[in-house]
Amino acid sequence: MTRFGSTVRELREQLRQDDPRFSLRQVAQRVGIEPAYLSKIERGDVAPPSEATTGRLAEELGVDRDWLLALAGKVSSDLQEIIRRHPESFAELIRKLKEAPEDAILRVVREVRDGERYVAHPG
């Protein structure tokens, strides 16, 4: 159903072309899981791994953690915690941005980033 496994495999094989340390076994060891498990993950034989494991996998493969988590069908727990502090506001904001194209979201991001009017003042 998801492209998680095949994506991980492709990423790993790309890296492997330049560096033999990216064999399934060695990556599994660095990530801290059994090779057999990573094999099943890459072939989609099992569901994507936990948030923690996916995070270490993302770092190992040099891709964005939130991006890989999304492929795994998850949302980072630290983001969820932030949302839970203002559930109604964030809910409205996110649902409003549901139909928005990527660049519109990025514009909001940029506005928030630039405008110090949005962040709490340190002094």
Among the listed ranges 46-54, 60-68, 82-90, 95-103, the one in contact with DNA (CB under 7 A) is 46-54
> Binding segment for DNA among 24-32, 62-70, 100-108, 110-118 (CB under 7 A)?
24-32
Whole-number minimum distance, CB 57 to DNA, in Å? Answer: 10
- In the chain the first and final C-alpha atoms are separated, in Å, by 50
106 binds DNA (CB under 7 A): no
Collapsing DSSP to helix, strand or coil, 57 comes out as helix
> Long-range pairs for 56-63 at CB < 8 Å and ≥24 separation?
56/31, 56/32, 57/8, 57/31, 60/27, 60/30, 60/31, 61/8, 61/11, 61/12, 61/15, 62/11, 62/15, 63/11
The first and second tokens of residue 75, run together, are 């949302």
Q: What is the x/- site pattern for a second copy, positions 43-82, by CB under 8 A? A: ---------------------x-xx-xx--xxxx-xxx-x
Q: Which residues bind a second copy (CB under 8 A)?
A: 64, 66-67, 69-70, 73-76, 78-80, 82-102, 104-109, 111-113, 117-120
Q: Which residues bind DNA (CB under 7 A)?
A: 16, 20, 23-26, 32-37, 39-40, 42-43, 45-47, 49-53
